[in-house]
Structure 1
Amino acid sequence: MRRLQALHAVVENGSVRAAAQVLGYTPSTISQHISALERQTSTVLLEPSGRGVRPTAAGLLLADRAADLLARMAETEAALAALTAGEMGVLRLASFATAGAELIPPALATTRTELPGLDVTLRIAEHDDALDLLRAGMLDLVVVETHDQPENTGALTYLPLLTDPFRIVLPKGHRLARRRVVSLADAADEPWIDIRSEIGCCHAATNAAFRAAGFTPRREVEADEYWPAQGFVAAGLGLALIPVLALGVQHTGVVVRRLAAKDQPVRHVLAVTRPAVERTTPVRTMIAALRREISR
């Protein structure tokens, strides 16, 4: 492309010296590019004309085609720069349901404001499915929940976002609602809500807390998600352990209390990406927006 650029500049400006001034090269560099292009094409491209040079028919043909190629190259470079800067392109996200409801929307709105030309797609996916899609290159960034803090590998980069503690949710007027901090053992004889969406790390964390408190919960009612679980608690059908991130909207019929430190289950919320896209503007902008939203 540099050789074609040199030829095009010579044809446009009428001399090697003038082309060198336009391109910021020395005349000898321009001559070397032209000589190399003639060897490459086995064709004479320029011939002497007075104190300058003029193109042969082959030189005119190649210079004319070079103009189109150089214009397309400039457009490509500009598009690549815009893509890298996040001014265009796609950011493919996935998140678990709770973060998708409470954390992702405001962070996504911030990212859209900062990068208005970015096309963003978002899907709900749980831990294993999200990471599989990320490894396969079908996603750029995922937000997952985990009980442990995984270490970065060559394939994935884990970025901690927050530690999300669980709270005990009680019906208003419950005997334990008068306490600011509740010991889990004091609720051993109570019925509990079985929350079906609580799988993987969350299920492991709450089960570990119940075992540490010395009992197995008596689960009498089943709820699909955290929000209907609050409704069952409000109706007096049982108690529930729900992470703070899932308590952005609180049912009017429940009270939320902290657990004693010895009983406290937590889940870790992580942003996960691949090293190949970790430093791109869309990914960095979304992660920064997530962290700002968490701080807020």
Structure 2
Amino acid sequence: MLETRHLLTFDAVVRTGTLAAAARELGYTQPGVSQHIRALERELKATLFVRAGRMLRLSEQGEVLAAKTSVLLSDLLATAEHVAAVARLRDGLVKVCAFPSANATLVPAAISKMRSDHLGVQLELFEAEPPDSLAGLKKGDYDIVVTFHYDDQGPIADDDTLSFPLMQEPLVLFMAEDHPLARRQQVGLAELSEERWIAGCLQCRQEFVSACEDAGFSPRIDVTTDDNLAVQSYVVAGLGLAMMPRMIQTFVKHPRLRIRPILPSRNRTITATILRGNRNLPAVKHMLESLTWAAEKAVEVANQ
């Protein structure tokens, strides 16, 4: 059976090229590194390195092992992180990551509900856009991520995760109060081919461009920003229109901003995603229930 410490030492020597450099990286002595490599060679009954001046070169057998080592160590690290996450969750600590507008709307309401129903659960909050949040979930950085996808993108299918739809929300048109179309109750996207535009985050921007292309034109994007408040400020300054998720105006709305439905309608689905193996842990289940409750309340308010 191969020992993890021997594989870690072997990996360090492969990456750094010398025993001395590997020793510095690992905090070992050089003889200690040599000892680990010799032990690994005895276990495998193979010579893993040959000398090339001051550097070490992988032997043929070493090449085979090196091709597998990074994958083995990555799997071991992921497993260790998953075990630690499960232990943390059983102790009642949940790490939640959401995209900015969800962190300003759904998540606070969910946490309030969670704390009133389950006083023993502790929460740590993080903010990231998908797909970064989903990558963090797989690494064990988060336990639940609140994410979104657009109609034409579809959810990200994965054998390791489970996603729970929370709500759908439409994209709406942001315009200044003095825009010629501000008196209209709804606006067709095809009517706006000559307008200038303010675009948001990468995924929202991709969806916006796709919607415009479906409407028969390529939009002129003058400003791009991930800052939702900045989008509104640029719009009311007359620098362009914006097509944004409705949720944004529920937590901050510029007084001179006008918001209208846009045709044809485009939607995004907001989901909560967890690791499949954590679905039965009480702390995770409680947080999912609270997020579902918060989403239902948000839909009720939006439809009033």
TM-score range, shorter chain: 0.5 to 0.7
Equivalent in the alignment of 1:257:
260
Structure 1 residue 270, shift from structure 2 partner = 1.0
Contact preservation (8 Å) 2:199, 2:243: no
Equivalent in the alignment of 2:231:
229
Per-residue CA distance 1:205-243 (angstroms, 9 max, x = gap): 211111011111122234341211111111111111110
Contact preservation (8 Å) 1:193, 1:232: yes
Equivalent in the alignment of 2:25:
none
- Structure 2 residues without counterparts, runs of 5 or longer: 1-85, 298-304
**1:95 equivalent in alignment to 2:98:** yes
Amino acid at match of 1:165: P
Contact preservation (8 Å) 1:205, 1:267: no
Equivalent in the alignment of 2:111:
108
Counterpart of 1:242 (choices 244, 249, 253) is 244
Equivalent in the alignment of 1:288:
289
Runs (4+) of structure 1 exceeding 6 A deviation are none
Give the TM-score taking structure 1 as reference length. Answer: 0.66
- 2: distance between equivalents of 1:205 and 1:194? 10
SS of 2:230's equivalent in the other structure is helix
Equivalent in the alignment of 2:141:
138
Equivalent in the alignment of 1:35:
none
Contact preservation (8 Å) 2:96, 2:125: yes
- 1: distance between equivalents of 2:276 and 2:159? 8
Counterpart of 2:169 (choices 140, 164, 173) is 164
- 1: distance between equivalents of 2:195 and 2:158? 43
- 2: distance between equivalents of 1:222 and 1:276? 39
Structure 1 residue 279, shift from structure 2 partner = 1.9
- 1: distance between equivalents of 2:156 and 2:217? 33
Structure 1 residue 91, shift from structure 2 partner = 0.4
- 2: distance between equivalents of 1:250 and 1:151? 31
Query: Structure 1 pair 135/221, CA: closer, same or farther in 2 (3 Å)?
Result: closer
- 2: distance between equivalents of 1:229 and 1:212? 23
Amino acid at match of 1:269: I
Larger Rg: 1
Question: Percent of aligned pairs with the same residue?
Answer: 29
Per-residue CA distance 1:146-179 (angstroms, 9 max, x = gap): 2233365431001111122110011102111111
SS of 2:178's equivalent in the other structure is coil
Contact preservation (8 Å) 1:162, 1:268: yes
Equivalent in the alignment of 1:219:
221
Equivalent in the alignment of 2:209:
207
- 2: distance between equivalents of 1:124 and 1:169? 24
- 2: distance between equivalents of 1:224 and 1:151? 22
- 2: distance between equivalents of 1:252 and 1:130? 32
Query: Structure 1 pair 149/217, CA: closer, same or farther in 2 (3 Å)?
Result: closer
Give the TM-score taking structure 2 as reference length. Answer: 0.64
Counterpart of 1:182 (choices 187, 191, 195) is 187
Name the count of aligned residue pairs. Answer: 208
Segment drifting more, 147-156 vs 279-288: 147-156
- 1: distance between equivalents of 2:120 and 2:156? 34
- 1: distance between equivalents of 2:128 and 2:226? 16
- 1: distance between equivalents of 2:220 and 2:123? 43
- Structure 1 residues without counterparts, runs of 5 or longer: 1-79
- Give me the CA root mean square deviation: 2.1
